[in-house]
Structure 1
Amino acid sequence: MAEAFIPSLTGPRLRDHVAAASESPFFSDKEVVKDADKHLFLALLEGVPTGYDGDIPKSNVFTQRADPTLLCELLQKEVDAGWLETIPLHEAQARWGSRLAVGMHNGALAGFSLDIEAAHKTVRVRDGTLRYLFYRVCPFGAVFSAHWFQRVSAFLIRMLHPFLYVRHSLFVYSDDLLGITEQSVLEITFALVLAFCVCFGYPISWKKLQMGPRILWIGWSFDFGAGGVEVPSDKTSKLLAGLRDILRQDRVDKRELHRVIGLIQWILQLFPLLKPWMNTLYCDLHSPFGTNYSMDPGDFPSIADFLDDTLTFTSLISGTAIPLGSKLLSVRHVDIKRKRDLAQVPLTSKRLWLRVAASSRRRLSPASKQFLLYWKHWAEDPPLLRPLQIPLASPVEAAADAMASSNKFAIGGYVQMPSGNLLWFSQSWVMADLQFTKLDLSDDAQAYIASFETLAQIALLHCAIKSWCDNAGAESVSNKLYTRKYPLCIFAQRLALFSAYSSMSLDVSHIPGEYNKDADMLSRIEDFSELPARFPLNTRLVLDLEQLWFRRSAVSLTPPDFPLRWKIPVNEFF
Structure 2
Amino acid sequence: MPLSTRPTQPLTLASVLQPQGELVQNRALICDSAGNASSADWSHPKPSPKAMQDIMKAWLQWASQRDPQSKPEHPIPEEDQLELIRIACEVMDWDYNSMIQAADGQPFRLNLMQAFADLLHDPDKDLPALLRVGVHTGVCDEIQPSGLWPLAKIQPLSSSGLEVCEGNWKPAEADPDTVRSLLADEEAAGWIKPVPGGLEEAKRIWPKGIAVGKLSLVKAENREVLDSTVCQVNPMCRIPEAVSMPTVNDVRATFMPSDPRGAFLAASVDFKAAHKRVKVHRSKQGLLLFMFEKILYRYVVCHLGAKFSAYWWQRVGGLILRA
TM-score (norm 1): 0.17
Max Rg structure: 1
More strand by share: 1
TM-score (norm 2): 0.28
